[in-house]
Amino acid sequence: MSFGELLRIAPGTKPDLAAIDPASTPGFDGDKDAAHDRLKELRHELTSFQERLWAEGRQSLLIVLQALDGGGKDGLIRKVITAFNPQGTRVIGFGVPTEEELRHDYLWRVHAATPGKGRIGVFNRSHYEDVLVVRVNELVPESVWEKRYDQINDFEATLAANDTRIVKVFLHISRDEQRERFQKRIDDPAKHWKWSSGDLETREHWGDYQAAYADALARCSRDHAPWFVVPADHKWYRDLAVAEILVEAAREMDPQWPEAGDDLSSIVIPQ
């Protein structure tokens, strides 16, 4: 079975997150060094895919990254997403909405940030926050967030129908691993800037977040926009698994070099 098949949430099924071990390494029985070697190969393939995607200029790739605080989104971007040429790639972080964003519907800022033809967009957090933090912190009533799952499915179906391939990844870490990573942030002055007191608040609501994630994954994993749950306690496995999932998507997208506009066979480059 491929990584994608192993880690994908089948449409219409609800994942039992408590039963997925964040320290497990599904589909890989090698060690950390073997994972690094394989990642190098995958990065090469992602680099050449992106060149073809750009040259072809017909399709887009949207990668949605979600995780609890400390889940490793930033590390993943550094280790895997950097395989793509920055000229054709944009990483967009979604934080607390600005006043202007709040004056619009919650998908307004998201739609504006989707990748154009030939481009790759990486959402570091996304419209899913509108059924996660918004639900857990009761920022809007249930009657409002409850309708958003269908709205998100419709929105993503529109993107997919317009040649955007969507890959959604939830980095699944354990409570113990989160504690260790938070502790490192506190112990290491070079990591202090990463610390936010809000991080502890999300830890207090751990159970609510797990429930909100399980609903989002269950209700919004679709053939055209699947969710993947990646066990992420081991950073090396996290990077490897996401790279494998992206390579699978890249192979299916299979962008083609465009034909040359002119007949190049008769061109002679002057001395």
Footprint of ligand ADP on this chain (CB under 6 A)? 69, 93-97, 124-125, 129-130, 133-134, 196, 198
Distance of closest approach, residue 130 Cβ to ligand ADP, in angstroms: 5
Distance of closest approach, residue 140 Cβ to ligand ADP, in angstroms: 9
Q: Which is nearer to ligand ADP, 135 or 165 (CB)?
A: 135
Distance of closest approach, residue 95 Cβ to ligand ADP, in angstroms: 4
Q: Which is nearer to ligand ADP, 52 or 125 (CB)?
A: 125
Q: Which is nearer to ligand ADP, 143 or 197 (CB)?
A: 197
With contact defined as beta carbons under 8 Å apart, do 115 and 147 qualify? no
Q: Which is nearer to ligand ADP, 3 or 155 (CB)?
A: 155
Dihedral angle over CA of 29, 222, 252, 123, nearest 10 = -80
Distance of closest approach, residue 178 Cβ to ligand ADP, in angstroms: 13
Q: Which is nearer to ligand ADP, 38 or 205 (CB)?
A: 205
Distance of closest approach, residue 59 Cβ to ligand ADP, in angstroms: 27
Question: Which residue's CB comes closest to ligand ADP?
Answer: 129
